[in-house]
Each structure stands twice: as C-alpha cells, then as structure tokens.
Amino acid sequence: MTKIKHTLVHIVGARPNFMKAAPVLRALDKYSAKVRQVLVHTGQHYTENMSDVFFTELGIPKPDVNLHVGSGTHAQQTSAIMTAFEPVAMELRPDLTFVYGDVNSTVAAALVCAKLGLKIVHVEAGLRSFDRTMPEEINRLLTDQLADLLFTPSLDGNVNLRREGVAKNKIFFVGNVMIDTLIRFLPAAQQRSQEIRERHGLGEYGIATIHRPANVDDLDTLRPILGALDEISREIKLVFPVHPRTLKNLGDEAKSLTKNMLLLEPLSYLDFLALQASAKLIITDSGGVQEEATYLRVPCLTLRPNTERPVTVTEGTNILIDRNLPRLKKEVKAILKGKKNKHRLPKYWDGKAAERIAKVTIDHLRG
C-alpha cells in the first residue's frame, strides 16, 4: 500500500520570492518520498525580465499553477490573488503552505489559508522596519500573526515576534535563504563578470537601484535623488537598472536626469549578482540588495530612514542615508577614498538555511 504524501504548496509572485523559494524547494526535494510539492505563481510580477528569467536561471520548476493576477493597486492585487488562490487551496487542501517575504502575494495567500483553517509557513519571518507607511510592513505583521511556523533569517526577528506575542514554539531561527541562493550561484555569476563589464565598457563603477514608492512616486522627491546620483556618476560610473515603476513615473525625464549613468532594463539574477560582486559601492532602497551587499562585503548606502534588516547595519556594510543627499555624496566620496566599514557575516548566513527549514518542516509533519 502506497503511503499518502504530505502536500506542500509554495506561493511565489514577485522577484524577491524566487530567490527565497528556490533553495527551499530544492532542500525539500530530498524528502520526495514523504512530501509532494506544488508551486503556485500568482503572477504579481509577470514580465520576462521580472519573472520568467528567474525560473530559468535559478532552476525553479515550472509552476504547477499560475494565477495570472498581474498588476494593480495594493487592494486590487491582494484581492485578485485571494480570489484566484482560494479554489486552488480548497482543491489541494495542503498540509502546509509556504509564503515568502513580504509582498502582496505573501499576505494574500496567508489570509486565504487562515480562513480555510490551513497551516501557514512564513519564510523570512519577524523582520520589522517599524514603519507602517510601508505596505510591506503591513504584509509582514499580518502574515506573522497568521503563520503556524515562522522561520527567521536573523535573531532580531525572534525578538520582534516574541514581543508581538507569537508563541516561542512556532519560531525557528534558521538563517537567510537569500544567502543560500547567492552562495550557490556566485561562482557562475563571477564567470560572467568580465564579459558584462566589457559589454558595457565598465572600469570602476557603482550600482544604483531605486524603486520604493516613497522615493519614486512623487517626482518632486525623485528628481533630486536622480540629480544627486547624476552628480555622483561624474566621479564614478553608476550602473542603474531601472525598475518598471521608476521608469513609468520618470517618463521622458529619465535621459536628461541621468545623462552620466548607464541606464539598463531590470537584469537577470546572475547578471545583477555579477555586477554587485565587482562594484565599488551600491546605492539602493531595496531590502534584498542590503543583504547581498553585506555578504559580498560591498559598501551599501540605503536611501531609506529605516530598514527591516538591521543586521546589515549592525554587522554588515549598510549605512542608512534616508534622503539626506548631501550625506549620500559625502559617504560616496569617503568610500572612493578608501573608507571601509567594520564587517562580519551574520550568524547562519552560511548557505544552509533551507536545509534547516526542511528538517524542521519534516519533523513538524511527523508530529
């Protein structure tokens, strides 16, 4: 008699999810005799360079289900995901549903499962910026209150969850799955590095990525940021992969405000990792980039007043700049003159976080 396998559903929807889910899917594949994995892509990010290329590069299997929700406001997108995912969840009745990070797909799937009495696993739990003007912070808070198993990437996550009343036996400090992916693919990215730099005529260079609504939705805010980046690019070449949101809001002004920068479309994971690994500095408002820069030991200047990844500041290479543009330019000058931050790798950023997640998951299923 064939033993019935446990069904595990993984929800991905946006670019950051793919890097987090890939190592977990692979780690749980080792237990294929015990579990059946189902991959659901909500379609929150749906273009070739924001979605498809990541499945190819990261070796993620083709999604079993694609909800094709597309873009929209936060409410529209969240409700569309819930409406589309509910019949899938009702049909599969998974033993565990894995949600990743803090995007709309994360909280939408968690709400559906909670209403249906299905167990939820949150990978990258406990991170807090303590800034509720960030939509992602709301997603994190709600998902963590609904989750049954919470896997934290750093110890501050455990502290935050306990403060919010989450039971200790639900919380597991496993490390950072984003770093699992980085470690696995860094050698391949480094092999591309010279070719990419030669293709774009790069010597010494920095990277800029700006996409947060607080920085790009208001042109009166975005223009001075890009003006500062343009000024910095006269001292060091800046590679600027332009997020669709930023490009849409900037429109025809992009070329005039960024004439000294190398503007690129969003890059594949391997190409962007290759550029990060060889960069002199990174200017960003992305959470994941703060982590990657820390592992790669590249100075990172973050255009935000806070971060849900404080370990990148206390132990890593990250400096919070907010929108203090004179300070941004001052810090860039210091880096170019050889300033280095003290740096150490946070605990469990060792490429084995997904293995720890898989072990806890299987132990939980065994009861």
Given the residues 211, 243, 343, 364, select the one marked as catalytic. Answer: 211
Amino acid identity for residue 32 in this structure: S
45 carries an active-site annotation: no
Q: List active site positions.
A: 211
